[in-house]
Amino acid sequence: MKRILGIGLMLSLSLGAEKIAVIEIKGMSCPLCTVAVKRSLQKTPGVFKAKVKLNTRRATVRFQDDLNTSKLLEAIRAAGGYEGKILSVTPSAPQKH
Amino acid sequence: MQRRDFIISLSLGALATLLPLDANETAPSDIKAKGGATRRFHVVYDFDLHNPEGKGPFPARLWNPMPYNAPWQNVRILHFDGNQDLWNLNDDNAYDVPILYAQWRKGNIPKKLRIEMEIETKERSVPLKLIEEASKRHLPVPPSVRRFLEPTEHIPTDGKIKAKAEELTHGIDDRFKKVKKIYDWVTEVTFRDPKVIGCGIGHAGKMMDSGYFGGKCTDISSLFVALLRAAGIPAREVFGIRLGKSHFSKALGKADKEGVADITTWQHCRAEYYIPGAGWIPSDPADITKLELVEDRKYDDPRVQELKRRYLHSWEMNWVGFNWGRDFVLSPKPEQYPINMLGYPYAEVEDEPLDYYLPETFKYHIVSREIR
């Protein structure tokens, strides 16, 4: 039993805790805007995955929990002057990246 | 299962049903194209879609805008072949925009499609006298045209747009006189900004709010359309592509001695406004600014003024129109929607749109040859 717990602890330490942020984005006006935002988010150290939708004007970002969410908003701004607003941040089970 | 390449060729009769958007339906009293020379162009689109993320198998979907049928433009022959798994020609969207849709399953094979068309065009001009006389009659706007008075996300009709339209048309009742006031103002204050990517986004509200009137054809046409709608004149942008040599200026289209032109990046947005009794009237305020920039001429230069006079009510038809859709959803529904305009091919790999402003990475190539 101790061995199993130990393996579990090692795994969570090596994978790190993750979070998911849902961000509202203002200023996206065409499908290509979503590409620019997605690329900018995914270039940010600590971001594992980003999905951006034009119809909802929202991004869903999976990131390392020690990353300050202000970095996500900076990345969105850097993509072309878009304005992001964090709607929610929730813990997520670590995934294979 | 091994795919089979396929080839589809369509005659004029079949095309009439497959490319159903007919400008006459929405402009029953529109004047027929008349007088001017008929021109014919053989146009070839070549697609070889690539995965922007690099290697590995990928699925792809493509929506390509197709020309509509009208007295001034006609697709006489359509032929396409490729290795797609699914395809259709549809106009299943809010503006009846004709689209050739193709889809490839996830796989390593190249995603190739070739579209060949023979397009016939005729000079399009509505006589000023006809427009003036129709305008004086103050006829009601037909129900089928009223939607082109409504705002869209990129064509607001309130705020500064509304205020400017009211300022420009204050005290004027006659619709065509209102059009001329707005056309004069738009062609004078706007200028072509070569730094703008492609044809521009066409965000009329943003342009008016910013007070920066530099842009490209979609930006300038959208400003014109927004002001007209705000003034109660139905109007729309018309997205299309230049096909070859302009008889007015090289700035507006050119070709080599054989009439061949690489038109891959020649997408061009024009405009139309509606005067009841006269129908849809062609216009092109953006090309005034292109002539100024390319030929290094001022607004009051006689040559610029000559083009301005022509483009209040005509189009030189070294161009073919695709549609007047703004802020609409394609069919089948893409991952990203709505699309702000469809003047360029649109494609998605996985859930990501390919950059239609970069044909070399997308990849697509369009060549036109004038048939003499």
Of B153, B339, B355, which has the smallest distance from its Cβ to A35's Cβ?
Answer: B355
The amino acid that residue A55 corresponds to is N
pLDDT in tens, A61-74: 999 999 999 999 99
Q: What is the DSSP string of A6-56?
A: HHHHHHHHHH--EEEEEEEEE---SHHHHHHHHHHHHHSTTEEEEEEETTT
Task: Report pLDDT for B107.
Answer: 92
- CB contacts of B335 in chain A (<8 Å) are 53
pLDDT in tens, B5-58: 445 555 555 555 555 555 544 443 344 444 468 999 999 999 999 887 777 889
pLDDT in tens, B330-371: 999 999 999 999 999 999 998 799 999 999 999 999 999 999
Q: Is the per-residue pLDDT at B77 higher than 70? A: yes
Which residues, other chains included, contact A16 with Cβ-Cβ below 8 Å and sequence gap of 6+? Answer: A64, A65, A66, A94
Q: What is the DSSP string of B236-297?
A: EEEEEEE-S--SS-GGG----TTSEEE-TT-EEEEEEEEETTTEEEEE-HHHHHHHHHHTT-
Task: Report pLDDT for A14.
Answer: 46
CA of residue B57 relative to chain centroid, distance = 34
Q: Please name the residues between 200 and 259 in chain B that touch chain A, using a CB distance below 8 Å.
A: 201, 203
Task: Report pLDDT for B345.
Answer: 97
What integer best gives the mean pLDDT of chain B?
91
Whether residues B340 and A29 touch (CB distance < 8 A) is answered with yes
Confidence of residue B260 (pLDDT cuts 50, 70, 90): very high
Q: B233, B211 in Cβ contact below 8 A?
A: no
What value does the mean pLDDT take over residues B276-305? Answer: 97
Work out the percent of chain B whose per-residue pLDDT is above 90.
85
Q: A49, A62 in Cβ contact below 8 A?
A: yes
Q: B45, B322 in Cβ contact below 8 A?
A: no
CA distance B64 to B59: 17
Q: Is B65 helix (H, G, I), strand (E, B) or coil?
A: strand
CA of residue B237 relative to chain centroid, distance = 7
B359 touches chain A (CB under 8 A): no
Strands B73-82 and B111-122: antiparallel
User: How is residue B258 written in tokens?
Assistant: 């054989």
Task: Report pLDDT for A62.
Answer: 96
Checking ipTM against 0.90, whether it exceeds it is: no
* CATH fold for domain A17-92: Alpha-Beta Plaits (3.30.70)
Lowest mean pLDDT among A52-56, B33-37, B76-80, B142-146: B33-37
Q: Is the per-residue pLDDT at A10 higher than 90? A: no
Work out the percent of chain A whose per-residue pLDDT is above 90.
72
Task: Report pLDDT for B17.
Answer: 52
Work out the percent of chain B whose per-residue pLDDT is above 70.
90
Min Cα distance A35 → chain B (Å) is 7
Confidence of residue B2 (pLDDT cuts 50, 70, 90): very low
What residue segments make up the domains of chain A, in order of their start? 17-92
CA distance B286 to B215: 9
Q: B304, B297 in Cβ contact below 8 A?
A: yes
CA of residue B191 relative to chain centroid, distance = 19
Q: Is the per-residue pLDDT at A16 higher than 70? A: no
CA atoms within 13 Å, Cβ hemisphere of B62: 32
User: How is residue A55 written in tokens?
Assistant: 């119809």
Lowest mean pLDDT among A12-21, A50-59, B180-189: A12-21
User: How is residue B202 written in tokens?
Assistant: 């066409």
Of B154, B203, B355, which has the smallest distance from its Cβ to A32's Cβ?
Answer: B355
Min Cα distance B201 → chain A (Å) is 8
What value does the mean pLDDT take over residues B49-72? Answer: 90
Task: Report pLDDT for B61.
Answer: 97
Whether residues A53 and B336 touch (CB distance < 8 A) is answered with yes
Confidence of residue A29 (pLDDT cuts 50, 70, 90): confident
Lowest mean pLDDT among A15-24, B127-136, B162-171, B228-237: A15-24
Q: Please name the residues between 132 and 191 in chain B that touch chain A, using a CB distance below 8 Å.
A: 153-154
- CB contacts of B339 in chain A (<8 Å) are 30-31
Residue among B98, B61, B57, B75 at smallest CA distance from B10: B75
pLDDT in tens, B292-321: 999 999 999 999 999 999 999 999 999 999
Show the domains of chain B with their CATH numbers.
14-122+326-371 (no CATH), 126-322 (3.10.620.30)
CA distance B344 to B201: 12
A10-19, B35-44, B124-133: which is most confident: B124-133
Task: Report pLDDT for B336.
Answer: 96
Whether residues A32 and B357 touch (CB distance < 8 A) is answered with yes
The amino acid that residue B74 corresponds to is N
